[in-house]
Structure 1
């Protein structure tokens, strides 16, 4: 094939090791990879459909399909998963010790519709019978999507993390806090669930859920131009996953590493991060879709099959 006739597609995503080395040629399509901050990627794709292929928020993706605002299609590759029990944080000296203690309290959250928040609220309800309407929420003024009118929420330009540390708010739900970078002994926040690691392990063993947070999406215009792109992307990411599993599986998600106990299951033949529309992944996606509807973020639950390209 002449150079000028080669098919080329740029993938835009975060800095995870398995993805940043994805460049190569698959099914006559040459892929390159460009690293960007994921929040910026999500905003650019949501507002302007800025990329042919990119990493994207699963909750935002489902919400787009539920409202028929598509123009993108999912590739069943899931570049980021994370448990969400441990991201519910309180002050180190807080008297709050259980999710039930959050009833009637003020909980900060950076963006109400972010996938991490949807998972956390769903877990609070399903595992601890704490409904999102039992909580008073506070968030920043810049939301990806309008917050449902049924939510008790206030908006502020003040720093949410500082607000929890100073005692203005009771707790915060966020996967990224500045406090996390401090040495353990100097951290001013702690997980509400003191034994969150053990609880997350029991949750996985009982439910089989390692919550999907991000997926790979492709512009429908790109798929029309490159009909083999979906299968080629799936093949490229799958090969890289096999390569990384053979070296250092715990580094699969880069800085936010897979828990060691979960990485150890790979050596025993388990795959906690499967690609494709497997039974486990379908359950995972349907679980988040159900949470979105229960939280009034969508009014229709799109089927898994309608959202994803065949791989």
Structure 2
């Protein structure tokens, strides 16, 4: 029997699969792994105290620091990250041709005002295009399926920002197609756009890949959406946080190495044609460790998110890396 029993929740990504199939274990711990098709279910279980360690949306985690006592600290593990210019959709009749045209419009946002992609893109829109959150009317809901308000976390909205939730069976994708909202900021691509059944919806950044690659070249930021959080009392146990960090890093490294090795055979194990060319292009741009964990490689991105979070009224004050990460891992 190991010293510590842990309940750990994380989505079953390819880079966490080695934790599930036993190729990687967490030294010094007996781990019960939990997952869900909806990662927000894992967030909710962590927020309600049902898990010891879990993948947690970065904004969900940071909002707890305005509680009387935050129960969590973060490990510098970022299991979910994505460039989010591709997450902005517009109605073709809305008159929105450029990001600047979002000012004065009604925009849907998936799940939460100040979702993780929402924090990133609101920050980018303000910093690079001059459109601030208070210049937009916001409607929160589900993209293709109605979702209730997330009442299990703090939901601050700063003064001067207009926010409402969808009602009943309303969905943001249907509202966008009907012109009831002008744009949509969503992690989920509207189903009608994917299946080609609508001509009313398009992406704001049509060539989003070029825009996102340019963003990385200029900033060095590959935006993280989620972090791994640990309960404070467990973070105080010597060596435990570092053991968890090493396991996640080892699992991710195994998957990265598989892609490097498969390049010699032109990635015949991958079902996507021309994948080797994409892999080479990404490796040249993002580097040999294109999905880095640890604070040193991610400090600029984390500090940018912390700044955006405070500027958007989601944190009462601007938090620092030293406050939110486990002290034992500040050297990673």
The TM-score with structure 1 as length reference comes to 0.86
Partner of 1:255: none
From 306, 310, 330, the counterpart of 1:289 = 306
Unaligned ranges ≥5, structure 2: 142-147, 263-274
Partner of 2:288: 270
8 Å contact 2:310–2:316 — kept in the other structure?
yes
Pairing 1:248-263 to 2, within 5 Å after superposition: 248=259, 261=278
TM-superposed deviation, 1:222: 2.7
TM-superposed deviation, 1:169: 0.7
TM-superposed deviation, 1:218: 0.8
The reply on whether 1:191 has 2:198 as its aligned counterpart is: no
8 Å contact 1:27–1:228 — kept in the other structure?
no
The reply on whether 1:242 has 2:253 as its aligned counterpart is: yes
Q: 1:248 to 1:188 in 2, by over 3 A?
A: farther
Counterparts of 1:69 and 1:215 in 2: how far apart (Å)?
19
Q: 1:126 to 1:20 in 2, by over 3 A?
A: same
TM-superposed deviation, 1:267: 6.6
Counterparts of 1:182 and 1:195 in 2: how far apart (Å)?
16
8 Å contact 1:74–1:216 — kept in the other structure?
yes
Counterparts of 2:189 and 2:226 in 1: how far apart (Å)?
19
From 154, 157, 161, the counterpart of 1:147 = 157
Counterparts of 1:28 and 1:127 in 2: how far apart (Å)?
46
Secondary structure in 2 aligned to 1:26?
Answer: coil
Between 1:137-146 and 1:287-296, the stretch displaced more is: 137-146
Counterparts of 2:313 and 2:5 in 1: how far apart (Å)?
40
Unaligned ranges ≥5, structure 1: 251-257
TM-superposed deviation, 1:189: 2.5
Between 1:13-22 and 1:211-220, the stretch displaced more is: 13-22
Partner of 1:51: 51
Counterparts of 1:44 and 1:266 in 2: how far apart (Å)?
36
8 Å contact 1:66–1:301 — kept in the other structure?
no
Counterparts of 1:234 and 1:263 in 2: how far apart (Å)?
28
Partner of 2:5: 8
Between 1:27-36 and 1:240-249, the stretch displaced more is: 27-36
What value does the CA root-mean-square deviation take over the aligned residues? 2.7
Partner of 2:14: 17
TM-superposed deviation, 1:275: 0.9
Partner of 2:265: none
The number of residue pairs the alignment matches comes to 298
From 309, 313, 320, the counterpart of 1:303 = 320
8 Å contact 1:262–1:272 — kept in the other structure?
no
The TM-score with structure 2 as length reference comes to 0.81
Q: 1:151 to 1:277 in 2, by over 3 A?
A: same
